[in-house]
Chains A and B, each alone.
Chain A
């Protein structure tokens, strides 16, 4: 079955760049997503990338996709303390009836 793996924890200083990594196994994955979850809250969609793209940039966020290695990364430029949260990588297959398969999440801690 499909599997999505993420490192569990990342600690950075305010102003630095953060890079959160994710690997997936389903070669038929069509869309790959990054969601953010703050304590006690639901999931906030940050960005997504279509599987035929290599890179997508959205303000401070840059997503890189290496489809050959099934590796996805999220880079947050100029990381702020408000970016401290859990970040989830997720994948879905087109026509998969909106079923997302999630990684376990990466806790990002930003210190001042």
Chain B
């Protein structure tokens, strides 16, 4: 099976712009989660989608949003970019996972966003 894919891999934006990141989960997986990784804060959970519904959301401002399509592909959007949004954005897919652990998450390579 192909792994989780994320596009684009690298992105440079300026403050105030908006950005859309895309994630294609492992074939058959229905849950997609997004995480932000920064040197200062580490890995932080953004949100999780399952069957096109957001089931869980982390502690991020409303500028961060996402959606999931009927084919389980997901996008996340960040509006009015700030310098502090520079990070590696990781997507993970799961469910169903291995029989004994349906929620095992498999990560993509990430999208590295630089905000100037």
Chain B contact residues: over half helix, strand or loop, or mixed?
A: strand
Q: How many residues of B contact A (CB 8 A)?
A: 27
Given A88-B43, A97-B56, verify A45-B105 contact (CB < 8 Å): yes
Q: How many residues of A contact B (CB 8 A)?
A: 24
| Across-interface contacts of B6 in A (CB, < 8 A) | 42
Q: Which of the residues B42, B101, B104 comes within 8 Å of A104, measured between beta carbons?
A: B42
* Cα of A105 to Cα of B37 in the assembled complex, Å: 11
* Cα of A61 to Cα of B110 in the assembled complex, Å: 25
Q: Which of the residues A31, A45, A50, A105 comes within 8 Å of B107, measured between beta carbons?
A: A45
A87 part of interface (Cβ distance < 8 Å):
no
* Cα of A41 to Cα of B108 in the assembled complex, Å: 9
A66 part of interface (Cβ distance < 8 Å):
no
A55 part of interface (Cβ distance < 8 Å):
no
* Cα of A35 to Cα of B45 in the assembled complex, Å: 15
Q: B residues near A, CB below 8 A?
A: 4, 6, 31, 33, 35, 42-43, 45, 48, 50, 55-56, 58, 90, 92, 94-95, 100-101, 103-110
